[in-house]
Structure 1
Amino acid sequence: MKPENKMKLYLPIALSVGFLVDFVLCSKEIIEDHYWRDYTGQIPNDAIIAGTDKQGLPIFIGQVFLKEIGLLPATIYAHSSSIQATAWGKVFTVDKNVKILCSQNSEDYRWIPTKIENMHLLTHCHLLPGGTETETTLYIGRVIHEMELEIGKVYPNFSPYKGLALPHNGKQATYDTFEVLAYNCTCSKNNCT
């Protein structure tokens, strides 16, 4: 085979391999290694710890399925088999159809301080979707509410609803300033806002 014909043969292969390498490297940047496990009152070893409650016990990130509403993020307390979620301004207490967020690499997840009007500026991290409500993607947020760290749902800033919402006295409390859960951040741990 003539050298110029060999080059014609190798060039498409090299380009294909180069594309594959670029694709794998780019894909690696956004690999999601989190997963939702069924929650039945037992905390799995790979559950992502979201903080601590008033007694210093760990809290976890839950997800509840409510028929005709969707999947809602919520707080899981280690000492409770039921959790509360909020939708349509109401609070729902459930002990079925509950999931808990888990990962083998929980250190790759960060809580990023933000305000609802600035969420679209968080381009250095991938926000972790925590569910859906009436076909709107919800994110996972946390805030200190009545001297206790709690998990809630975060509406995207284009939604007619705004901020982080969580259960409070049978109703929904809303915050404009909160922390949102993110992963694969390209910023330093101390400079992600």
Structure 2
Amino acid sequence: MAKQNINFDYFWRDYNEILPDDAYPVGVDTLLYTDVDVGLASVEEIPGVYPTAIRPGKTVVVPIDRRREASKFKQILLYTGSKQPERLKWMTSGAALLSSIPKSNHLILAGIEGRNRLYIGRQRDQGEIVIGKILTDDVNNVLMWYANDHTEASVSTYEILTYDTSVNVDFDIK
């Protein structure tokens, strides 16, 4: 079931191994030569929903303590309104830079871990595009965590996915 944010032109839809035309592309993974999209997924043994990379035809993994295969719950980020999602923007950020993101750029909520909000981070690791969770438990040291081999790794410099409300986008309403 698709749930659309009534204020923004993006939403999440169940991912059933078929890439929708309106999926939000992150880029091409130069290591694996595959398209990468933003997703949410869960694992059965640990409650919660976590941001992750979706690579069509590849297993969806979630970064929780180690690399875990996603359970049946998988969703993919989609956009509406225009053919180019100008309002979805990756902002350079890091452990101490999160507060420097302009107020017109809303962080896209991607889940909860414990009592902390999770946001969507992107980083390139040896040519591979990785999508990870940005855990905001320590406002002075906000790290991005991602699945790396059989463990969970963190980086202090990354990009964070935002929705820019200051961009004027002409929508083609039919």
Class of the TM-score when normalised by the shorter of the 2 chains: 0.7 to 0.9
Instruction: Give TM-score scaled by structure 1 length.
Output: 0.73
The 2-side partners of 1:46 and 1:149 are apart by 20
Q: Distance in 2 between matches of 1:40 and 1:160?
A: 38
Which runs of 5 or more structure 1 residues have no equivalent in the other structure?
A: 1-29, 188-193
1:72: which partner in 2?
Answer: 50
Paired position in structure 1 for 2:39: 62
Paired residues in the alignment total 157
Distance across 2 between alignment mates of 1:74 and 1:184: 21
Percent identical among aligned pairs is: 24
2:42/2:49 contact within 8 Å kept: yes
- Asked if residue 179 in structure 1 is aligned to residue 159 in structure 2, the reply is yes
Higher strand proportion, which one? 2
Offset from partner CA, 1:97-119 (integer Å, 9 cap, x none)? 11001111422201001112110
Give deviations 1:67-96, integer Å, cap 9, x for gaps.
54311000000232x311111x22211251
Q: CA deviation at 1:158?
A: 3.0
TM-score (normalizing by structure 2): 0.81
Pairwise CA RMSD: 2.3
Query: Deviation above 4 Å: which 4+ runs of structure 1?
Result: none
Match of 2:88 among 65, 88, 109: 109
Q: Provide structure 2 residue ranges, at least 5 long, that are not aligned to the other structure.
A: 1-5, 168-174
How big is each residue's C-alpha offset from its partner over 1:113-148, in whole Å with a ceiling of 9 and x where there is no partner?
111211022123111111111231100010001221
**C-alpha distance in structure 2 between counterparts of 1:108 and 1:160, whole Å:** 27
Q: From the two aligned structures, give the one with the greater helix fraction.
A: 1
Q: Greater RCO between the two (CA within 8 Å, min separation 6)?
A: 2
1:46 aligns with 2:22: yes
Larger Rg: 1
